Amino acid sequence: MHPLKTRQPYPRNQWWAAAYSSEVGRELLGRTILGERIILYRTERGEPVILSGLCPHRAFPLEKGCLSGDRVRCGYHGFAFSASGTLEEVPSQTAIPAKADLRRYPVAERGGVVWIWTGSEALADETLLPDMAALGPGSPAWATEQHRLATIAARYTLLIDNLLDLSHASFIHADTIPGGNFVAGLPVDLVETPESLNVRRKGNGLPPNPFFKLMFPDHAGPLDQSFDAEYFGPHLIRTGGALYDSANGALLGTQNYLHLITPETPSSLHYFVITSRDFATGNPALGQTHMDMGLRIQPQDKAAIEAIELVLQGLDSPPREVSARCDTGALKVRHRLETQIRAEECPA
């Protein structure tokens, strides 16, 4: 996706994945999100906190400080801030400088993920969070694996493009995704609702392979498999889908791959991947296989979109872009995203 036709590169009135829940504890975690340095930690009661990550005194990174109870103490000159971001102590004087508080970001925790609201605090609405349990994470009926966080040196819209055209699986992932060689030739259906846009492919009568056998050890015949690419917003795309017995159409189960995308800067992003399934939930070998596949698949996508980013940065103007019929969903998503950003740039 070439530069958006908007003044700002990303929407701010949006929930974004800030960290896996397991990353956030009683030590300060520093991260950059939408070009802003933040810190994350948990209070002594276990509640997640997200504050701006630079000390207003001399811009020292606060992740290099420490916690004292629930207070953040800067490691440079000892300024201490409450969990609400209020500057409470300056060791070298008794007076508290004005306008020295940290920003406290609205925060929520769903599906093993700590989410940050980066826009106006008055607009933060937890009903806008993705229903993670419906997709797998957080539901006791599903097995879930969290894959290693990747930071990619490319604009986040390139990853959105990548995920919405799964025909690349037949080429970049030809050696890593079982059955991926069939994807490019599958017909595309577009399922569009106000909540999401799904670029759907379905492979019928796919021959058995070792991965299918690991998923469904009691099934010996061919499968029908959905290859969905469902955009819920710039923060979340679901791939994967349902698998059926080709002989009788019976549903065997659903495998979701959740792609949580968070811009780091205009030219870099954080990429969280979570796999969830509602079958074989007690099969650790299948979960490990997903993890092992992720270690091979993710670097392939990373290399592809970083290569495009380098091209875009090296040109004086964006190159002419040619789209195929299967890009209809991606083009519609671009329109959705630009509309979302423009609504912030020119509020009604």
Instruction: List, for residues 87-138, the tens digit of each pLDDT value.
Output: 999 999 999 999 999 999 999 999 999 999 999 999 999 999 999 999 999 9
Q: In Å, what is the CA distance from 311 to each residue of 232, 303, 306, 334? A: 28, 13, 9, 20
Positive or negative, the Cα torsion across 12, 14, 19, 21? positive
Structural domain of 115 = 15-127
User: Would the pLDDT of 7 be above 80?
Assistant: yes
Q: Are residues 62 and 170 in the same domain?
A: no
Q: Which strands make up the sheet holding 107-110, listed edge to edge?
A: 15-20, 113-117, 107-110
Q: Are residues 221 and 194 in the same domain?
A: yes
What total number of domains does the chain contain?
A: 2
Flag whether 101 is in a domain: yes
pLDDT at 274: 98
pLDDT at 137: 98
Pairing of strands 80-81, 143-146: unpaired
Flag whether 10 is in a domain: no
pLDDT at 161: 94
pLDDT at 1: 61
At which of 67, 96, 127 does a domain end? 127
pLDDT at 94: 96
pLDDT in tens, 186-233: 889 999 999 999 999 999 999 988 999 999 999 999 999 999 999 999
Tell me what the mean pLDDT of segment 264-275 comes to. 98
Read off the tokens for 321: 């872009």
- Other Cβ atoms less than 10 A from the Cβ of 135: the count is 23
Q: Which of 20-29, 180-189, 260-269 has the lowest mean pLDDT?
A: 180-189
pLDDT in tens, 55-65: 999 999 999 99
Q: Are 271 and 149 in contact (CB under 8 A)?
A: yes
pLDDT in tens, 165-189: 888 888 888 787 776 777 878 889 9
The DSSP call for residue 221 is S
Q: Are residues 122 and 193 in the same domain?
A: no
pLDDT at 348: 64
- Say which amino acid occupies 164: L
Q: Are residues 29 and 87 in the same domain?
A: yes
Whether the model clears a pTM of 0.85, i.e. scores above it, the answer is yes
Q: Are residues 64 and 191 in the same domain?
A: no
- Other Cβ atoms less than 10 A from the Cβ of 124: the count is 17
Q: Are residues 86 and 174 in the same domain?
A: no
What is the radius of gyration, based on Cα positions, of the chain?
22
CB contact set of 95 (below 8 Å; sequence gap of 6+): none
Q: Are residues 49 and 139 in the same domain?
A: no
Please report, for the domain that includes residue 120, its CATH number: 2.102.10.10
